Amino acid sequence: QQSSILLQVAFKMYLGVTPSVSCNSTAGNEFSLILDKNPLVDFVEELPAERASLCYCNLLCGVIRGALEMVHLAAEVTFLQDRLKGDAVTEIGITFLRKAEDRKHKRN
């Protein structure tokens, strides 16, 4: 999918890491970005016990969702695995809510 390639390029440009893409959907409307190394984790040592439910890296989900909205792609973006929670990798799930509309631009 073209949008997954664009997300890989954006991650490399802005965060210095290239996620791998895993697509398990037969409909082709959802995929996962898997980060072996998450640069945001470098800024957090350990979450306090009273803040264990905090998803510190959820910032990435908001950025991805906002960027997709800027190009008129509605998507649900959620964390599936988080290194800060003890998982081996950081995995972000992306599900497109509707297909991009083909728009014809009129010339003035």
**pLDDT tens-digit series, residues 10-33:** 888 888 888 888 887 777 788 898
Assess if residue 34 is contained within a domain. yes
State the Cα–Cα distance between residues 54 and 89, nearest whole angstrom: 17
- pTM of the entire predicted model: 0.76
Band of the pLDDT at 101, cuts 50, 70, 90?
A: low
Range of the domain at 39: 1-96
| Structure tokens, 41 | 């984790």
**CATH code, domain with 71:** 3.30.1380.20
Whats the size of the chain, residue-wise? 108
* The Cα angle at residue 30 between residues 27 and 34, in degrees rounded to 5: 140
Q: Are 34 and 91 in contact (CB under 8 A)?
A: yes
| Structure tokens, 64 | 């991805």
What is the number of structural domains in the chain?
1
CA distances from 35 to 1, 10, 57, 61 (A): 18, 13, 12, 13
State the Cα–Cα distance between residues 10 and 1, nearest whole angstrom: 15
Band of the pLDDT at 77, cuts 50, 70, 90?
A: very high
